[in-house]
Amino acid sequence: MVVKVGMLGVGMISPVIADALEDAPNAELVAVGSRTVTKAEKFILRYTTAKAYGSYDEVLDDADVDIVYLPLPTALCYEWTLKCAEKNKHVLVDKPLPPADKLKEMIEVCRSRGLVIMDGTHFVHSNRMRKIVEEARNEEIGKLRRVNTCFRWHMPEDDIRFKTELEPFGALGDLGWYCIKFGLSVCGFENKVIKVHADAVRHPETKSITAAVCSVFFEDGKSLMFDCEFNKAGANYWAEVIGGTGSIYVEDFVLPYKGSTAVCKKEELSPDLLYYKSKNLKVTEEGNFQEVFPPETEKIVVTNTYGISQCALMFEDFREAMGDPEKADRWAMEALATQTVLDTLYEEAKRDSTWSDHANRLS
């Protein structure tokens, strides 16, 4: 079964999704809606099979559309998810999502109609991420202790992400979401959070969060630590999984340098994704631990299924979830767990503005 996708909006991430749908073996873009039909028509020039509409509602009314992709500001996702459900459309919502209380309602409404709701995080659908999670859970680097991640991205100050009425979470939501989801993927979405800490820097005028440093502590002793930032220096997004005897390092965990048209040309795309596994301790013949220094590092290449990008694989997973309620529930609950941690960190960051104000005066 080939699933047919409609898209609401033609913003920054929309071309990446459209490119992925060209490569997805069982999904295709059939409709694009924008606030003006001119914008939609301009967008589909590269995607000749798609229809252009001058409103979002027309996409929802299109009988050919199975899934609606929402690359909309966070403040609009609740309303448009419910509208999609009313039209019996499955929903793929770009992150971050609305606060957990609203997200629960979105999930329940979709579930009651037999519809799938999934967040649009690409990297969790890659074979690389699945391999990393498997190795961490199997303690191939020893007992899992901590996950460290970082996501920094150049963002002009006139971007909507600086408008708190549209994007209330700022950099914590736009970038920190990925760090949280990576950490939960490794440490376990069901793992109980017992403590968090968050400090944030806010824009001096808009008061939007432009940077944050966060820690999340789990009941079983694992932890997640990350920082995220809108900056003027460029992109940087890495992740490290630390175990008792070694570690796993991913240089480009969000958007693989040769695995997403967000960061490379379409003709440069490769399904081969890299990560590194290091050994810091080994067991001697006598059964003792011996330090390995410098660490023994192995370069590992993982090829995506079908030879396609992680974004294209996201639509494969979505299609499977449409026919499997357990998989649909899994994706929805993982989104809810991620958003719940994000909400908690956001509230924690609001508690103390002293550090934020001081940092702004120094910048």
Active-site residue list = 95
Where does 108-245 show beta strands of DSSP type E?
117-119, 144-154, 193-202, 209-218, 223-231, 236-243
Q: How far is CA 226 from CA 149, 151, 217, in A?
A: 5, 8, 12
Distances from the Cα of 296 to the Cαs of 143, 257, 291, in angstroms? 18, 24, 11
- The residues, any chain, with a CB within 8 Å of residue 268's CB and separated by 6 or more, are 258
- Max CA separation in the chain (angstroms): 73
Q: Tell me how crowded residue 38 is: count the other CB atoms within 10 A of its CB.
A: 11
Q: Return the structure tokens found at 258.
A: 């040769």
SS3 call for 105 = helix
Which strands sit side by side in the sheet containing 27-33, from one edge to the other? 51-53, 27-33, 3-8, 67-70, 90-93, 117-119
Using CA atoms, how far apart are residues 188 and 138, in angstroms rounded to an integer? 13
Residue 169: DSSP 8-state:
T
Main-chain phi, psi angles of 262, to 5 degrees: -70, -25
What is the Cα–Cα distance from 204 to 65, expressed in whole angstroms? 43
Count CB atoms within 10 A of the CB of residue 255.
Answer: 22
